[in-house]
Amino acid sequence: MVTLALCALVLGPTGDPPHIANLWGCSPASTEYDSWSRYDLLVLTGGSPSQMERFSAEYRRRNPGGILLGTAPLMNLGSPEATPWMEESWFLRKPDGEMVTWWADQVYTPNLLIDGCLEALVAQTAESLGAALEQGWIDGVFFDSVVGRATWLGPVDTDGDGVADDPAEVDPRWHARQCEFFDRLRARYPGMLILANDVDLGHAPHLHGRLFEGGPLLDGVANGSRSCDLALRTLAAWREQSLQPPVTFALMSHPLGWQPWRVGQGPAVTTEAEVDRVARDFRRMRLGLLLCLMSDTYAAYDVGTVWYGLTFWYPEYDAPLGRPLGPVETVQQAEDREVFHWRAGEPTDALSFEDSAAAMEAGIEGGSLDSGAGWRRLFGTDPRSVPLAPGETYEVRATVEVLGAAGATIQFQARTPTGGWERHDKAINLWPGTLGTWEIGDVFIPDDFEDYSLEWHLNGAGRIRLTEIRVIAVEQSYLRREFEGGIAVLNRLPREVEVDLGGAYRRFEDPSCPRWIMEVDDADEGFMAEAGWERVSDLGRFCGTSTHQALKPGATATWSFTAPSTDTYTILACAPKLEGLTDAARFALEGPSGRQTVVVDQREGEGGWVMLLEAPLTEGEVYRVTLESGGTGITVADAVRIESAARRHDGSLVRRLVLAPLDGEILLKVP
């Protein structure tokens, strides 16, 4: 067994981990001080000065090391009628003179390149939160949606000449003005903390951290498009390059919150049943928590990306781990195997490049001078020379020199032309469009296609040079971090890993989380729909990316699974909130011991899980949940969930673990 340090310890949050954050759930008007003081970082919403004073005193009495941040506008403004402190000429406009809006056309954007506008934004923060900062009622301010490019909103006209600005010229100036805004605030309020969303590492020296909403980081780990290693390196870079103390936190959100129709829906964004479905996704919560625990950052788990602030709380959050004893380590349980290695100056037979790229002595260079061009492939590996087998685990390491990319975006990924990009892109890495050396290191498993290649793509004008690429077949390994009171282990691979802990550790106790949870969605291999079903991906309250629907009675759909342990299990089905559903969906559980049936009125679905039945299952046996369409209305086949009566955290001693793909544990030392 070999252990390799993944990242060094740097200054992180104070107090013992885990460190849990909450975004916008708490108003200073709240009197639920005991509940909110559990969080080590709160981004507050609203509140009068007197409310902030009272809430701050009660919060700090219970959590002296906690951080309170107010919220102020920078990129997100209300309409001109709602922002009387903004002159109408200060709003960012399109070349036709129309004001730039986004997020369901509810959010307006200021023109940061106008001096009076920037001064008004600084003054607005001072007016709304200056007293709270000076009195110490809050520790700093959070700014949302601070993307470092003006042109991410589309064609813009910052100088009012009626012509779209050149991204290569306007975006660097836009980025610099954002940094100037942060510097002005810190000069005015020395010691204040500044946290921002959607910023890049070029902003890091001007603020104390970044909020990573789910989509830009942790959600990609959960869906397999990014690796645990990439997430840890990204969080480490922010801790090291931002102002100290670092207040970066990463939020794992739920796919339920990705549906665009929810944007701007306010209280109608979700139902109680959907919230329950999110809260019971224990595995997704653990993945985000463990990545933050191993990187000394604040963690959050929420619906996202259209509703934040839910007060989910799990026993893992209270785990008495104590201080970390060292950095996170990669424990290598078997030796990896190199399958490809290329360096600049060597033959390029195994690589392919488009007309916009060419092989040179210093490496393979590719790019474009057209700032208005969309995405195009530059170069990549040839799958005939570098075959990547489905189901195998690969690590790719590459060094790329970014020679010019102002206003552009560069993307690396493993891609299959046969399978397409929407569901089959792996190991996605983005470079934001600045000069520098881009070190890529990512882990992925190809889907069931034989033509994956490792590719670089460019959007906009820029130029890059590949100087080295290495592909390694990865054997069993996992991440481990030692603490005073226990350990955290995480399977970094998208396949099952067996772990020898090297001693006895104790599970903590949690009566809510089943030991075995299996979900089979209609998009998974375990699902089969016979004739009469249609796959539907229209927006709505369902699980995953789609449902299957049957209009006529008698159509049968099946979810298959293998019982992981002999126990009593609860079988549940996702109950979408859709119109025109049947009043008699006929479910059945079939297995070696017989068949149990139940009829469900799908019209009562609210987007959560409905219990079908309980049944004893035998380890290793294959079972099927079948659904036969019937009754009046459309029958929907979505997802089923199987939960054991045994609890995952039962206080037992363990020496070995079998970790599911991208899953882990917090374990306590035995006194």
Confirm whether 12-76+113-329 and 337-473 share one CATH topology.
Answer: no
pLDDT confidence of residue 544? 80
pLDDT confidence of residue 443? 86
Largest Cα separation within the chain, whole Å, is 77
611 Cβ neighbours under 8 A, 6+ residues apart: 570, 571, 572
Domain boundaries, the chain: 12-76+113-329, 337-473, 517-645
CB-facing half-sphere around the CA of 575: CA atoms within 13 A: 25
pLDDT confidence of residue 406? 67
What are 536's two structure tokens? 């539907």
Q: Using alpha carbons only, what angle is made at residue 652 by residues 647 and 653, rounded to the nearest 5 degrees?
A: 140
pLDDT confidence of residue 539? 64
CA distance 401 to 399: 7
**Full DSSP string of 550-606:** ESSTT-EEEEEEE-SSSEEEEEEEE--B-TTB-S-EEEEEEETTEEEEEEE-GGG--
Pairing of strands 375-381, 351-353: antiparallel
CATH topology of domain 337-473: Jelly Rolls (2.60.120)
Residue type at position 1: M
The kind and range of the H/E element at 469 are strand 462-473
pTM of the model: 0.88
CB-facing half-sphere around the CA of 604: CA atoms within 13 A: 10
| Architecture in CATH of 517-645 | Sandwich (2.60)
Using alpha carbons, list the distances in angstroms from residue 68 to 55, 309, 449: 10, 14, 49
Mean pLDDT by 10 residues, the chain (671 residues): 44 80 96 97 95 98 96 94 95 96 91 97 96 97 95 93 92 96 97 96 96 93 87 94 96 86 78 91 97 97 90 95 95 87 96 93 92 89 95 91 83 91 83 82 88 94 94 91 97 90 94 93 92 84 86 96 97 92 96 94 93 97 97 95 95 95 96 86
pLDDT confidence of residue 306? 83
Q: How far is CA 114 from the centre of its chain?
A: 34
Using alpha carbons, list the distances in angstroms from residue 235 to 9, 239, 250, 350: 12, 6, 8, 33
CATH topology of domain 12-76+113-329: TIM Barrel (3.20.20)
Using alpha carbons, list the distances in angstroms from residue 487 to 321, 322, 326, 481: 7, 10, 11, 6
pLDDT confidence of residue 10? 41
pLDDT confidence of residue 597? 96
Q: Are 420 and 454 in contact (CB under 8 A)?
A: no
Using alpha carbons, list the distances in angstroms from residue 453 to 235, 387, 463: 27, 8, 20
